[in-house]
Structure 1
């Protein structure tokens, strides 16, 4: 609704007038106190080695900053502008963003899978003072609060509402009974400190089944103790118990090296990384 292509988009044409490239800033609504501009870039494959994408990156960032300056003329209380663009790792767009240099990688998104039959499963070893329990609806709200706490420091993350949380648990492929939570052994009533919420993917033609970890998180005070490893290991064993041959997870991380250490170390193989480039501007 707030795309405004006449003000925030540009196209490139060949000599015959055919559009071969475009850049488009998708901006936040005028009332937003923290303005964002999401960059979208496309260049025809035959024209990708003419530095058109690099020029589009520069144009879009300049146009976003000009838009922000215009807003501040009448609303000086506005916060800084955030500009971002998602690109496949190793793509021409990613290379153009890196060469421009004004935006830096902030988050990575990818899927990862591992076999549950070709190699031994990792052991389930919770940290001292922590016990794992099967997820139960009685723990649902405490698990939601733990999720929001775990992701509170992640740029661009938003709290999950009680309604959205329940909708996710009620999806046909959701498997709350395959899911796990972690609590303090001596003080379980103080809340959930970690969780792994799982679902099931069934490949209709072949019939193979994959246990999918939909959400996993550990609150900050209990991170870097091996709890995520234990939750994933417990989930894998549960997947095997229910006849799955694969385990999968969708990864959203702001620390790629840390995530690779955890997931690759547990046998997952990463596929199709997408990088979110971003930066804040306050001028």
Structure 2
């Protein structure tokens, strides 16, 4: 159940009573980074934070971090907890807030993390009401927090109950030399083709449609899309698309856009599928399996030792079944908690 303790006003930094709370300043960042290092040593999370990242984010003109982040100090003045709401620019049609929360392991028994969840959500909603005063046409607010599944922050989010699990992220890898590769068998009426530049805009539109139903997802614009395909490690010639053979006007219904990753220590090359999706109405027909199998064949043909993919799904059980059946080994999962607010 959500914490029912009286929560602070917009001008206050108080989260709870066991620590001394203040708004984040740039001078606090080195100590916050040290706190993150201590948390990471204990928890070994999938995602890690660095001082350079924090400084860049604090300095972004639209971040206003000193208004949207707090730190909690113990009696000795050491920062042992923090929360940071990363806001989108206030002129965006559909504002988003990404929550970040950290508590030193020695202080977790005080339920500080649970209180930080409540403070962060309230802070996000107060900000939304503030910007809506001058923009009555603004869309709904989405608030989210991406954390390791099974982590203490995930437990605090679940205990608060305001945000709910919406998407899961994990990496999957497999060897290309252990056993036979899966056969490329597209379903009837579907043809796999090598990606060609002439299909770029169709694939971009298919990608945006494939991810449109996922909370917190944003359309990829043409410039960002083309820049990603022009990167030195991008391998369009290793990439595949799926198209209907009986209705050429339908265009692209699935895609696997690939790149190359070289490990400087081992010298091994990995083929990596960085964008992968199937239009909703064409799912559960074997198209995704065929695209993955075709990609593996391209990777092996170009001397890659491994195949990998970063998975983004709102149906984790189905995704796990797909990738395990294709011989992938899965890494730890990150879960995205989120909720939409209209006030």
From 115, 118, 125, give the equivalent of 1:58. Answer: 118
- Whole-angstrom distance in 2 between the partners of 1:177 and 1:262: 24
* Number of residue-to-residue matches in the alignment: 283
Does the CA contact (< 8 Å) of 1:2 and 1:26 recur in 2? no
Shift of 1:279: 0.6
2:291 aligned residue (220, 231, 235): 231
Match of 2:334 among 262, 268, 274: 274
> Which stretches of structure 1, 4 residues or more, deviate above 6 A after TM superposition?
none
Larger strand proportion of the pair = 1
Q: Select which of 241, 244, 252 maps to 2:304.
A: 244
2: CA distance, partners of 1:190 / 1:106? 29
What is the match of residue 44 of structure 1? Answer: 104
- Which deviations, in whole Å up to 9, do the C-alpha atoms of 1:160-188 show, x marking residues without a partner? 22322222222111111111111112333
Offset at 1:23? 1.2
Task: Give the match's secondary structure for 1:186.
Answer: coil
Specify the SS of the correspondent of 2:332.
Answer: strand
1:73 CA drift (Å) = 4.3
Deviation track 1:120-139 (CA, whole Å, cap 9, x = no partner) reads 32111101111111112222
| CA deviation vs aligned residue, 1:102-132 (integer Å, no higher than 9, x gap) | 1111111121101111233211110111111
Paired residue for 2:197, among 131, 134, 137?
A: 137
Corresponding residue for 1:78?
Answer: 138
Distance of 2:202 and 2:312 partners within structure 1: 22
Q: Give the distance between the partners of 1:77 and 1:162, measured in 2 at CA.
A: 26
1:146–1:93 Cα change, 3 Å: same
TM-score (norm 1): 0.93
Match of 2:281 in 1: 221
Task: Report 1:90-109 matches (<5 A).
Answer: 90-109=150-169
Is the 8 Å Cα contact of residues 34 and 78 (structure 1) preserved in structure 2? Answer: yes
Unmatched 5+ stretches in structure 1? none
Q: Which SS does the other structure have where 2:109 is aligned?
A: coil
Show the counterpart of 2:72. Answer: 12
Equivalent residue, structure 1, for 2:33: none
| Equivalent position SS for 2:139 | coil
Q: CA–CA distance in 1 between the matches of 2:122 and 2:226?
A: 42
Q: Which residue in 1 is equivalent to 2:256?
A: 196
How far, CA to CA, are the matches of 1:199 and 1:106 in structure 2? 27
- List alignment gaps of at least 5 residues for structure 2: 1-60
RMSD over aligned CA atoms reads 1.8
